[in-house]
A = this chain, B = another copy of it.
């Protein structure tokens, strides 16, 4: 009997505080995993490559490696700095060729994308966005990031989406908080990220009681952004993850605000009659990032 060999992939979730590295074939086979503190690029990337090399020596050659990275990233395939982290304020990490470092050390194909686009791809492959051509994935945590697919492919365009920085109506009388975004003040991220909630209420989202008015305000801001994404991209579904969403109690509030704001203008049954299935949590939970990186590797290997 001949065993059918599924290709083995490497996955790197490159975050600002840690790198999560994994090898495997999918959610049911996350064969080996490690966490590496994000220090200097030289040190962190060396440890990353060592983990992947050690895995190769035990399990055989990796078919490809996917990297889901913090950004901003250069994702223009024809650019000389394709796969580089570009202008990050994170010390030492600006202009780092994160994709090239792995590619050159291992001699392997590397797929790279933003952490949110990777998570979106993971949800599309194994989670809440299966079977969709056009959807949005948002993460509401330390920052607010967004990505997703349009016409069956991940969103890139000129750079990549920066959905956290959209401007939304801000009633300064009801909420005099000026916002925390160092660039834009009261953009979406400045008003509704985890740090914004904490700065406004002096309690983190995790600590804020379920009946605190801060949740209604948070739901209202997120709904204003969602309505704009709906009117712009016309997604078939919106998947919302991240620390601020993790208790789940905010979902019904968001759905109600979105319905109130749209006023039945967009006449799709998903919005009019099935909004519980339209604005949803991710399925992959805190594995979204690393499984998204694995999905990038698979996609790169096609």
Contacts and interface: CB of A to CB of B under 8 A. Distances in A.
Contacts of A133: 157
Contacts of A270: 158
B236 A157 contact: yes
Interface stretch (A44-52, A123-131, A224-232, A244-252): A224-232
Given A134-B156, A151-B151, A265-B183, A233 B231 contact: no
Contacts of A234: 155-162
A72 interface: yes
Q: How many copies does the complex hold?
A: 2
A4 interface: no
B266 A232 contact: no
B233 A166 contact: no
Given A87-B267, A150-B155, A268-B158, A232 B235 contact: no
A122 interface: no
A232 to B, nearest CB: 5
A236 B267 contact: no
A29 to B, nearest CB: 30
Interface of A: 72, 86-87, 133-134, 146, 150-153, 155-170, 183-184, 224, 227-236, 261, 263-268, 270-271
Given A162-B231, A164-B231, 14 more contacts: A133-B157, A150-B150, A151-B153, A155-B234, A158-B230, A162-B266, A163-B231, A166-B228, A184-B261, A184-B263, A184-B265, A228-B228, A229-B232, A232-B233
